[in-house]
Structure 1
């Protein structure tokens, strides 16, 4: 059974002494420092030019990964505080002996939620597929025989969640431990606390994807030991039960993309307004103030009211589900997302179905994802040829120029092929949508 005292660890990479909650400076708590470090990171800033729904959209209606992440963080903070209040009532020693407050839970979930998309490549999930398929179907397949099964799986199933953990924790020259976030926040961030293999070994929600590259495996093992995460696989294939607060981070993301992507679709004219409002009304029918709703004269105001009510409705239910299943979650025996158990499951599925049909599969999105896919594949080919040329092929002047054009991408001498490939993939994933277009045009000679 996992316990909250360990799960709320303030430890950071490199700490020699235990950080005690009672000794924290109340004006700037450790968990709040996590939030600040993420906000000021260059990886977070780059999310302002990364796809949430519509790639390279020029409309001010549409959410970017940055605005989406900020909203998920706000929802996550509410979820954490509401759950934290009840957890402290149930486990009073956390407050009376250790000094934890309700807001600590909110701060951890808010920081983890803020970072939840920090490792995502440009062009959304199409970007992940482009990176993965370069190694499974493209010219990157030439590296397969030189890698272990897990190393190759990390590449062909390139995962934004694992890349996010890498960004938050990786050692760089002069920067040990990445952003040096608290282990509690890193635990809550990791929705899939497993390696890439075995691939989807169970129906456990934590096995749906993977969250750790081989390059950061030892780091996560240290974090999981400090947090007391339950091991669910041992030996060569490590996997752990989720940190309980990861369920709230996931719920915050589910709430925002379900409701707000739907709202983006309405504002872009991809979903009929009146038709869409009916679906939102079904979700909030138990809490809607009919007279107030009918007093709103514009569709925009009605949409805004229903959106706020829908988010509040889902926050309340997510907290109820979390508290109801707290013991199973602490035992590592809760294997679903919170909303898999939602009484609003039918309404949520209806909204997501419309979003998929009208937004995610719209011609505009598909056309831009196709372009993004081809551009990322070309960039990976360019970078791997320049930085990891075939030993039997003379180094070309073009490759030398490419290396000079990306001073941030430095591969130390003597590091393994796998580490270099992951580094190239992580660099490519760090590009914004606009950077990707500009880099592609540069290497294709389209800028003159």
Structure 2
């Protein structure tokens, strides 16, 4: 892979090539990507989607929106630091094509801003609820009407693939979704493969999948334009990652490792003194002991250690990226950047505590159970309305449901089974935590 192709400014539907040296410096194409994402309704909905605890009423716990903004800030720093060194190593990028350090930061920041845009309500349990509806629930009745890859898209419903769908799907009057630059789309795609074969290798890019069958044509167009390296065999679609996807992933890993941990402390789920000890272990090589000891309360100490931990991991992630740049461009680097961290043991300790004390806390589990049942009921309601069993075609209730969800009603006569089911899943995934509760109560007749 080469940086000239990887930094493509092309957008869906372009007929002429976009050149970096012809860009308006006051509003670069990569910065336009950021603007389009942040003004999208899909991004705004993240303000009421779970990051740590579903339906949390506290004002200091992160939502998907605040998490995404922070990941974007970290991603911008990662991109700029890496970009500065890449331009020094490949001077023709600046001299011939006019790329700047900030271009790398803008691409990573935009992709990082969108990294959770396709996630369902109730966190990763929402993904599992949708998938298990088709593998173990009433949705299993559609298996014989779908191809193997179509069925896999549903039973392993993936927020990353749904995010790519949101960013690129055609809608009436809107071709190409948000029409982001292909460089930003490439950096967004952590798993550049289709749903089958499932985990074919130990390469981190094969851990999940990055697009549904409905978006495979636009995905291949993006991959070809960027010059991504093919890995798929026997007609299966799979590629090596865009190099900047490693930086987007690192930004996410840094934020959820440190900031979810901080949320756990603020919620009282993790003992403060115990937590500070683990953060100190992570930053012990960079801590200013006299400054730290001058801080008189736990909140200030926690804030100092959090900032220092994030900065420490940013610096090391960039170093790892640059040390392995040639290998990454050749498609021979198969790990997350933090997996190669000298602080791996400390990171693992923090994540283990977060899993035990936060993600598996009674409050989280109770709300995820409730969310699981609500999502299953909504999927039942929507599938019965759009794809009713033979004795339910004239159901007045189903007609009322379709009237309440106009974007699904339009699919009734025009689409095949797979597209209708996928649109049901995508619609369900678009709901906020609060709207999921309200919809459940409405369809159950609990609340008007």
Cα RMSD, aligned residues only:
0.7
2:271 match? 272
Q: How many residues align?
A: 447
Give CA-to-partner distance per residue, 1:84-131, whole Å, 9 cap, x none: 000000000000000000000000000000000000000001000000
In 2, the alpha carbon distance for the partners of 1:133 and 1:6 equals 39
TM-score (norm 1): 0.99
1:171 match? 170
2:401 match? 402
Q: Are 1:4 and 2:3 counterparts?
A: yes
Displacement after TM superposition at 1:236 (Å): 2.2
Do the aligned residues in 2 keep the contact of 1:120 with 1:163 (CA within 8 Å)?
Answer: yes
2:426 match? 426
In 2, the alpha carbon distance for the partners of 1:4 and 1:138 equals 46
In 1, the alpha carbon distance for the partners of 2:231 and 2:447 equals 52
Displacement after TM superposition at 1:379 (Å): 0.1
Alignment of 1:357-376 (within 5 A): 357-376=356-375
Do the aligned residues in 2 keep the contact of 1:262 with 1:351 (CA within 8 Å)?
Answer: yes
1:220 match? 219
1:138 match? 137
Q: Are 1:126 and 2:152 counterparts?
A: no
1:443 match? 443
In 1, the alpha carbon distance for the partners of 2:407 and 2:354 equals 38
Give CA-to-partner distance per residue, 1:246-273, whole Å, 9 cap, x none: 0000000000000000000000000000
TM-score (norm 2): 0.99
DSSP 3-state at the match of 2:407 = coil
Do the aligned residues in 1 keep the contact of 2:386 with 2:412 (CA within 8 Å)?
Answer: no
2:47 match? 48
Displacement after TM superposition at 1:413 (Å): 2.9
Do the aligned residues in 2 keep the contact of 1:279 with 1:351 (CA within 8 Å)?
Answer: yes
Alignment of 1:292-307 (within 5 A): 292-307=291-306
Displacement after TM superposition at 1:390 (Å): 2.1
In 2, the alpha carbon distance for the partners of 1:266 and 1:399 equals 46
1:333 match? 332
2:36 match? 37
Displacement after TM superposition at 1:392 (Å): 4.6
In 2, the alpha carbon distance for the partners of 1:174 and 1:28 equals 25
Displacement after TM superposition at 1:412 (Å): 5.8
Give CA-to-partner distance per residue, 1:114-162, whole Å, 9 cap, x none: 0000000000010000000000000000000000000000000000000
Do the aligned residues in 1 keep the contact of 2:93 with 2:99 (CA within 8 Å)?
Answer: yes
**Does 20-29 or 413-422 show the bigger shift?**
413-422
In 1, the alpha carbon distance for the partners of 2:211 and 2:84 equals 31
**Does 238-247 or 412-421 show the bigger shift?**
412-421
Displacement after TM superposition at 1:401 (Å): 0.7
2:185 match? 186
In 2, the alpha carbon distance for the partners of 1:28 and 1:414 equals 40
In 1, the alpha carbon distance for the partners of 2:414 and 2:84 equals 51
Do the aligned residues in 2 keep the contact of 1:7 with 1:184 (CA within 8 Å)?
Answer: yes
Give CA-to-partner distance per residue, 1:258-294, whole Å, 9 cap, x none: 0000000000000000000000000000000000000
Do the aligned residues in 2 keep the contact of 1:389 with 1:395 (CA within 8 Å)?
Answer: no
1:381 match? 380
Do the aligned residues in 2 keep the contact of 1:379 with 1:428 (CA within 8 Å)?
Answer: yes
Alignment of 1:223-262 (within 5 A): 223-262=222-261
Task: For structure 1, list consecutive stretches of 5 or more residues without a partner in the other structure.
Answer: none
In 2, the alpha carbon distance for the partners of 1:189 and 1:210 equals 12
DSSP 3-state at the match of 1:110 = helix
Give CA-to-partner distance per residue, 1:379-423, whole Å, 9 cap, x none: 000000011112453321100110111123231633221011111
In 2, the alpha carbon distance for the partners of 1:440 and 1:337 equals 38
1:284 match? 283
Do the aligned residues in 1 keep the contact of 2:161 with 2:209 (CA within 8 Å)?
Answer: yes
Do the aligned residues in 2 keep the contact of 1:284 with 1:313 (CA within 8 Å)?
Answer: yes
Displacement after TM superposition at 1:235 (Å): 3.6
DSSP 3-state at the match of 1:211 = coil
2:77 match? 78
Task: For structure 2, list consecutive stretches of 5 or more residues without a partner in the other structure.
Answer: none
Alignment of 1:410-421 (within 5 A): 410-411=410-411, 413-421=413-421
Do the aligned residues in 1 keep the contact of 2:60 with 2:263 (CA within 8 Å)?
Answer: yes
